[in-house]
Chain A
Amino acid sequence: MIVPFGHLLMFAASLFVLGLCCTLLRREIIMILIGVEIMLNAAALTLVGGAAYWQQSDGQVFVILLMAITAAEVAVALALVVYLKQRKGTLVADAFDRMSG
């Protein structure tokens, strides 16, 4: 393994925090979704790194599954985004608060 495992973990963690910040701080749904995607990718990176480190294929299998799920999720989410934009004319997440108690 060329890259040390520790570096990889650090990198994945930073990526995850960046994604988290994006999710928490941005107000548009699109950006929140991108943040989620980034976090997912951070997780995937960890899995790949782990698979390489321990020489086990489980992690890689899992990543493939993850990619499939992500693709599906993005498809549904973008459809939702289009629908929401049509309904309210905005994509600011806080505009959709009908679940308030």
Chain B
Amino acid sequence: MNETLLFLIPLLPLCCALLNMLVGMRLPRLFAETVAVSGVATAFVLTLLFWDYASGAGTRATLFTWLASGDLEIAFALHFDRLAAPMTLMVTGVATLIHLYAVGYMHGEQDYARFFGLLNLFVFAMLTIILADNLLVLFLGWEGVGLCSYGLIGFWYRKLDNARAGTKAFLVTRVGDVFLGIALLWLFALTGSLSIGVINAAAADLAPAVLLGLTLLLLLGACGKSAQLPLMTWLADAMAGPTPVSALIHAATMVTAGVYLLCRLFPLVSLSAAGMAVITAVGALTALYAATCALAQREIKRVLAYSTMSQVGFMFMAVGAGSVAGAMFHLLTHAFFKALLFMAAGCVIHLAGEENDLFRMGGLYRRGPVELFWIFLIGAVCLAGVPLTSGFFSKDAILLAVFTHPDPVYRLFWGIGVLTALLTALYTFRLVYLIFAGEPRGQGAPHPVSLAMRWPLWPLAGLALLGGGLNLPALVGGGERLHHWLGDLGGRTIAAAHSTELRLIALATALVLAGWAIAHWRYRRFAPPTEAALVQFLLHGWQADRLVDRLLVRPFTATAHFCSTGCDRGLFDGTLAGLASLAQRTGALLRRLATGRVSTSLSAFAWGLLVIAGWLLLQLASRGGHG
């Protein structure tokens, strides 16, 4: 097969997106849905078919030159390699299931063509990020996912709050993009190329300070997309979008793009020890921050959003600890169980009668189909890291990597990670208890959950439970398949004594149990919510929005006001008005001379004549004097 066919993987969703956007509304609904689902599903099948291309050094394919100027030549080029392949498979696979789910979820929606068009476009952009061979094509996908996220968060645009949430997401992530963009410019200036391969190869020759600077810029770029500190404020608000969107974009795929970026450029990033420490620190702090916020949230999707932020923080920790394999492992398992949780949450919201508030749910175990409880529970135990689930193995691998890092400061990060793991278990079981335990507290009439919404959950549930098999540690007899598959792309090999590993596993198990115990004790019976200051503080995400508003938004608006009103209207136009009025006043003085009467003109004429005659006479006299 021709390797250019690799372009089919991203382009199929693109074509389906365009088809849906252009003519989707004129075609029957079934057609639009079929187009959307089949585009992504075909991409999934193609990824499987092309799997062999990824082995070894991978396969590059070039479509055509995008930009060329002097030495600069940037092509639309793909690189399908061992890092990209599992990611592609995950994205297309999860996206297929979510598309199927969306067919059911958006059943009553009139504007389906726009929805499926944007969803497909998102898959295209995400695949572009994954498969990009150079940073500019990556940037294309990077902004593309931002755009789709914008469009889909604000999908129900009639409510201005939704549109605002979309705008906020776009703007905050774009702040991150600026740093990525600067890194891109700098890398081009340094290496003369934007190809990821060339950059990674040339990274070894760069000065340490430059490497640190680049790492920090890339980190900030990644933070924007992945909602890490300090650019995390958009993710919780992004839950205004439809649930399939939250599942696909804000849980499984787009928010992990930052992690993927750092993994892609790992050869460069890993050269700066200080940079790696900062990455770990950002990951650890975000994980803790988001976990504490998740403890106090009232809306089911916001809990999941903060938990996503927290889990992506774990992935950042893995990258910072040098374990790309660990990051990718957690990325994949997280995609499975978090997509599962979001989709199950969508069903829960349906069942509770479009009720988002946890405090008005309750008792769904008896009210809804029992399978929903089990599915949600599977997602929850994976998230909490109950032993032998996928989340347990992947989180454990990260904590092990951080723990075994030679630098002592990483012990601190490990401590934060452990604390976060405890909090994770706590908020996860809080969620389960609040939704399913006790008596129903809401008034909403339950909506039935259609079959299309239910059955895509099962494959995901299976993957979430058994996903640990992807990279089962040697300790439990696994083959560490993902690590071996990634090979030299997988980062540091984690070597630890079996006793250490066992102790860590025991600790993790204890933490999960402790978390569950606290949740059981506290939330088994529903207690009315308290208004304590701490709860409010956590509920509002440590008042981060207010801080951003004070520090950035208000000064920005004030400067804007100064520029448009103070400068342009006041200074520049004022100066002009001053000049104009000066001219006018001079004119007013002069116009007194022009009476319009013939007599005035005539006498002026006579006087002028006199002056000229006098001057001529003087000339004559002086010439006569000389002569």
Contact = CB atoms under 8 A, between A and B. Distances in A.
A101 B602 CA distance: 16
A18 to B, nearest CB: 13
Contacts, number: 36
B595 to A, nearest CB: 5
Of listed B590, B592, B595, residue having the most chain A CB within 10 A: B595
Interface in B576-599: 590-599
Contact of B602 (A32, A96, A97, A98): A32
Given A101-B590, A101-B591, A94 B602 contact: no
Interface residues of A, number: 14
A20 B596 contact: no
Contacts of B592: 101
A60 to B, nearest CB: 26
Contact of A99 (B596, B602, B603, B606): B596
A8 to B, nearest CB: 20
A98 to B, nearest CB: 6
Contacts of A99: 594, 596
Nearest to B597: A94
Given A20-B606, A24-B606, A32-B602, A93 B596 contact: no
Nearest to B591: A101
A23 B592 CA distance: 23
Contact of A94 (B590, B593, B598): B598
Interface residues of B, number: 13
Contacts of A23: 602
Contact of B596 (A27, A29, A97): A97
Given A20-B606, A24-B603, A24-B606, A32 B598 contact: yes
Given A101-B590, A101-B591, A24 B598 contact: no
A101 B598 contact: no
A86 interface: no
A27 B603 CA distance: 12
B152 to A, nearest CB: 67
A55 interface: no
Nearest to A20: B606
Contacts of A32: 598, 602
A23 B602 CA distance: 8
Contacts of B599: 24, 27, 93-94
B602 A24 contact: yes
Contacts of A20: 606
A97 B590 contact: no
Contacts of A93: 597-599
Contacts of B593: 101
Of listed B590, B595, B597, residue having the most chain A CB within 10 A: B597
B597 A98 contact: no
Interface string A30-49: 00100000000000000000
Contacts of A29: 598
B595 A96 contact: no
Contacts of A101: 590-594, 596
Of listed B591, B599, B603, B606, residue having the most chain A CB within 10 A: B599
Contacts of B590: 101
B606 A97 contact: no
A61 to B, nearest CB: 26
Interface string A67-99: 000000000000000000000000001101111
B230 to A, nearest CB: 66
A29 to B, nearest CB: 8
Contacts of A27: 599
Interface of A: 20, 23-24, 27, 29, 32, 93-94, 96-101
Given A93-B598, A98-B596, 6 more contacts: A24-B603, A27-B599, A93-B597, A96-B598, A101-B590, A101-B593
14 contacts: A24-B599, A24-B603, A93-B598, A94-B599, A97-B596, A97-B597, A98-B596, A99-B596, A100-B591, A100-B594, A100-B596, A100-B597, A101-B590, A101-B596
